[in-house]
């Protein structure tokens, strides 16, 4: 698959150049020096979580009062309170409950459960000044199930026993409220410039439900991905009728004003004519309302009623499901390589790289399945393919495409001509 192969080679070549550039003198003689430690320092936050255990393949200890821990690049880290272990995640400069739960959504049950437990166990009951886990909590902790609903988690015996015997300065009988825990977590994430989504966020992947569209629409596939941190969007659409030629990808900037009016800004790539939101015009406006899922309404000038109303469904974000951006592209730099995996077995790929051949830009929509034992992703039934020289469609009928997820990181492994390469994607 040419597009993926070239991206991986660019990263590899850059790495090699960097190493060569740091080489020593070519002159004779020898020298010795004490090698510097390669350990990196990360922090675990809801607020910084102190006195919690952590382990990686090479390091083990407890976090300091600033929530800091040590790791080597490429390792996973597992945090634990006595016998209670959190799911392992890629070690990084900042780790949050979002990473542990494998989502960007602060409303996710596992995120809420982790935040409630950590904040409730804080010894002084004030997470705004940091969270400290007591040794008493470590001695009394047993494994809990973070995947339970918020209500079932709060009522589980392992949780109630721990919070009532957690060594806090004052006696605690129950977890803090969902609302308080979520509010504190979101405040911390904002202060640390960590992006997140919630019920009112536009960031993430969306599918328009054209089966319920009012107006003259015919059911067909329409996908949007919005990134509020860069104010960029990707639109992928299947042509509505067989005789039409306008389909594929649109990529550019967007804005949503205080009234929910959605407009396009600069356009970076457009192969689908005028069927997306670009260009915005004065004789038509598009409004979006978001509360969990969303609704898109199209108004024409002089008409107070929408001429079209389309339900918009937020994509599930759990495990492989969700929207992913290749880590070596930045939509803010007007480049993107996006993958989305839907719960109904549909996948979307959108790609635009300024220095790549035009034939490698565009979109794909097809069907996928994943073997959970081998991680092999099988691809079939391609309904949109405008990036003819690149894409997952090159792997139809092969077992050469694999995907694995850890936290909010997706690793895609491809095998071509006997060579295996990996690409890392981050959850949007």
Q: What digits encode the pLDDT tens for the residues 260-283?
A: 999 999 999 999 887 888 887 878
Q: How confident is the model at residue 37, as a pLDDT?
A: 64
**pLDDT tens-digit profile of 363-416?**
999 999 999 999 999 999 999 999 886 789 999 999 999 999 999 999 999 998
Query: For residue 46, which of 102, 124, 126 has the smallest C-alpha distance?
Result: 126
**In the chain, where are the structural domains located?**
39-200, 204-313, 322-427
Closest CA to 266 of 290, 232, 224: 232
Sign of CA dihedral 19, 21, 24, 26: positive
Cα separation, 368 vs 352, whole angstroms: 22
Q: How far is CA 210 from CA 223, 368, 381, in A?
A: 11, 21, 20
pLDDT at 216: 60
pLDDT for 61 beyond 90: yes
217 — pLDDT class (breaks 50, 70, 90): low
As a residue count, the chain comes to: 428
Mean pLDDT of the chain: 89
* pTM exceeds 0.85, yes or no: no
- Just give the CATH number of 322-427: 2.40.128.50
Does residue 102 register a pLDDT over 50? Answer: yes
Residues 260 and 291: beta-carbon distance below 8 Å: no
**pLDDT given for residue 5 in this prediction:** 40
Q: What are phi and psi of 16, to 5 degrees?
A: -65, -45
Q: Which of 67-81, 110-124, 267-281 has the lowest mean pLDDT?
A: 267-281
pLDDT at 10 exceeding the cut of 70: no
CA distance 105 to 76: 22
**Do the Cβ atoms of 313 and 295 come closer than 8 Å?**
no
Average pLDDT over residues 190-203: 93
């Amino acid at each position: 698959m040419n597009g993926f192969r070239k991206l991986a080679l660019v990263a590899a070549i850059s790495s090699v150049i960097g190493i060569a550039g740091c080489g020593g003198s070519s002159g004779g003689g020898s020298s010795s020096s004490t090698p510097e430690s390669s350990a990196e320092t990360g922090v675990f936050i809801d607020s910084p979580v102190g006195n919690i255990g952590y382990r990686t393949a090479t390091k083990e200890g407890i976090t300091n009062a600033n929530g800091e821990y040590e790791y080597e690049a490429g390792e996973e880290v597992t945090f634990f309170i006595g016998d209670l272990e959190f799911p392992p995640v890629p070690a990084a400069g900042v780790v949050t409950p979002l990473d542990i739960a494998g989502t960007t959504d602060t409303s996710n049950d596992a995120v809420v459960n982790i935040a409630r437990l950590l904040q409730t166990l804080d010894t002084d009951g004030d997470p705004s000044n940091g969270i400290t886990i007591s040794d008493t909590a470590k001695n009394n902790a047993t494994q809990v199930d973070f995947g339970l609903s918020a209500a079932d988690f709060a009522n589980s015996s392992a949780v109630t026993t721990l919070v009532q015997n957690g060594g806090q300065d004052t006696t605690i009988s129950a977890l803090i409220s969902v609302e308080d825990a979520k509010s504190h977590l979101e405040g911390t994430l904002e202060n640390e410039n960590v992006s997140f989504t919630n019920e009112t966020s536009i960031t993430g992947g969306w599918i328009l439900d054209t089966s319920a569209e009012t107006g003259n629409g015919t059911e067909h596939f329409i996908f949007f991905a919005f990134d509020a941190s860069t104010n960029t969007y990707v639109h992928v659409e299947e042509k509505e009728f067989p005789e039409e030629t306008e389909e594929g990808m649109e990529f550019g900037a967007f804005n949503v004003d205080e009234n929910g009016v959605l407009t396009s800004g600069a356009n970076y790539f457009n192969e689908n004519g005028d069927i997306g939101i670009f260009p915005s015009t004065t004789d038509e406006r598009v409004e979006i309302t978001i509360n969990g899922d969303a609704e898109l309404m199209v108004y024409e000038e002089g008409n107070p009623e929408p001429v079209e109303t389309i339900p918009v469904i937020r994509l599930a974000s759990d495990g492989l499901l969700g929207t992913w951006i290749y880590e070596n592209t930045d939509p803010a730099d007007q480049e993107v390589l996006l993958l989305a995996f839907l719960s109904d077995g549909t996948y979307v790929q959108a790609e635009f790289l300024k220095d790549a051949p035009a034939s490698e830009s565009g979109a794909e929509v097809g069907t996928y399945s994943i073997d959970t034992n081998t991680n092999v992703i099988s691809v079939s039934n391609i309904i949109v393919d405008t990036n003819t020289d690149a894409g997952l469609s090159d792997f139809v009928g092969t077992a050469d495409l694999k995907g694995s997820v850890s936290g909010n990181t997706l690793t895609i492994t491809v095998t071509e001509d006997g060579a295996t390469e990996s690409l890392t994607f981050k959850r949007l």
